[in-house]
């Protein structure tokens, strides 16, 4: 005859076996997923290597020169002037670096009302622009100019460029 303690132990043992089987099954599924992801990564790495090799073949100078000669009549390419090349410091400032005009809402509404009456616009349009927070400036912002070119240095031929590893 079985005692209740024996029945409880049999139940715990059965539950433990079920939990162990579930954990083992989940681990096997995760292992399959890891193998699948590793295979995808390997395929992508092989594709990247193939594309790098293809780019190296496509951008060979002698091949490009042959193509330029073959399609010279259609393309009419000209050599780049050395004055057409600029350094990064010679480019105008970025849009994020452009200074924000210092105009308050009172000045903006006064300017918009003055300009609206000067142009023959109605008073309601001027008030609507002022209420909408429109800022009107009459003075144009100066266009940033590139920095003057420095005298060419001896190491002008050694231009720093990025490379593909």
In whole angstroms, give the CA distance from residue 124 to residue 71: 62
Does any domain span residue 82? no
Count of other CB atoms within 10 angstroms of residue 129: 20
Residues 67 and 113 in one domain: no
Residues 110 and 67 in one domain: no
Residues 116 and 68 in one domain: no
Does any domain span residue 158? no
Does any domain span residue 8? no
Residues 110 and 63 in one domain: no
Give the count of domains, the chain.
2
Does any domain span residue 112? yes
Give, for all 165 residues of the chain, the pLDDT tens digit: 569 999 999 999 999 999 999 999 999 999 999 999 999 999 999 999 999 999 999 999 999 889 988 888 888 888 878 777 777 777 777 777 777 777 665 566 666 656 555 554 444 444 454 444 545 555 566 666 666 665 655 444 444 555 554
Question: Domain range spanning residue 115?
Answer: 105-133
Residues 72 and 109 in one domain: no
- Determine the distance from the C-alpha atom of residue 79 to the mean position of all C-alpha atoms in its chain, rounded to a whole number: 31
What pTM did the predictor assign? 0.40
Does any domain span residue 28? yes
Does any domain span residue 39? yes
Does any domain span residue 151? no
Residue 130 near residue 105, CB atoms below 8 Å: yes
Residue 118 near residue 100, CB atoms below 8 Å: no
Residue 110 near residue 78, CB atoms below 8 Å: no
Does any domain span residue 89? no
Residues 26 and 72 in one domain: yes
């Amino acid at each position: 005859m079985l005692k209740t303690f024996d029945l409880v132990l049999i139940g715990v043992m059965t539950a433990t076996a079920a939990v162990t089987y579930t954990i083992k099954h989940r681990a096997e599924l995760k292992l399959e997923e890891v193998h699948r992801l590793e295979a995808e990564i390997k395929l992508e790495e092989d594709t990247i290597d193939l594309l790098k090799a293809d780019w190296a073949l496509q951008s060979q100078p002698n091949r490009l020169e042959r193509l330029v000669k073959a399609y010279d009549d259609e393309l009419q390419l000209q050599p780049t002037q050395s004055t057409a090349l600029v350094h990064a410091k010679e480019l105008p400032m970025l849009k994020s670096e452009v200074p924000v005009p210092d105009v308050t809402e009172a000045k903006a509404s006064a300017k918009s009302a003055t300009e609206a009456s000067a142009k023959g616009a109605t008073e309601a349009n001027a008030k609507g622009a002022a209420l909408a927070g429109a800022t009107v400036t009459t003075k144009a912002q100066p266009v940033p100019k590139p920095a003057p070119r420095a005298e060419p240095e001896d190491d002008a031929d050694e231009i720093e460029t990025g490379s593909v590893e």
